[in-house]
Amino acid sequence: MRTAIFPGSFDPFTVGHKSIVERGCRLFDKVIVAVGINSNKRCRRSVEQRLKDIRDVFRDNPKVEVASYSGLTVEFARSTGAGFILRGVREVKDFEYERNLADVNSSISDIETVFLCAEPELSFISSSMVRELESFGFDVSRFIAR
């Protein structure tokens, strides 16, 4: 069984994230959305809230599981039996960051990283942009996955 984890902060889980998971489901038998707990990052939503929201999005998709983890992403991947890390790439800046992360992870484990390019119409959407709009009281519902 081919399993991938899709790690991230998902604060919040956007339509861009959802698209990567759905496309990942065509490549893998199982995709585990992995909410990383990072004490250095101040998040707007609690981990519990993010887990609940993401589970709601995929309630009818039996290929998707949702979990939280702390520590090294490759160790979490290994603990679930996943051989792959799924990541989305929006632009060149993402690519440089993601390639470096993938190189580090492949040097310390046998986990392969698979990149999917963002859908063009979703490539401007980021969690940080959504949080910023929210902070001004703007209705961000169009960007949040449901």
Instruction: Give residues in contact with ligand ADP (CB under 6 A).
Output: 8-10, 14, 16-17, 20, 87-88, 90, 94, 118, 122-123, 125-127
Alpha-carbon distance 33 to 115, whole Å? 15
Q: Is 93 a catalytic residue?
A: no
Chain residue at closest Cβ approach to ligand ADP: 16
Q: Is 142 a catalytic residue?
A: no
Q: How far is the CB of 105 from ligand ADP (least distance, A)?
A: 12
Instruction: Please say which residue, 67 or 122, places its beta carbon nearer to ligand ADP.
Output: 122
Instruction: Please say which residue, 80 or 126, places its beta carbon nearer to ligand ADP.
Output: 126
The Cα-based distances of 101 to 72, 87, 136, 140, 141 in angstroms read: 12, 10, 33, 30, 31
Q: Is 131 a catalytic residue?
A: no
**Out of 26, 41, 42, 146, which one is annotated catalytic?**
41
Instruction: Please say which residue, 83 or 144, places its beta carbon nearer to ligand ADP.
Output: 144
Q: Is 79 a catalytic residue?
A: no
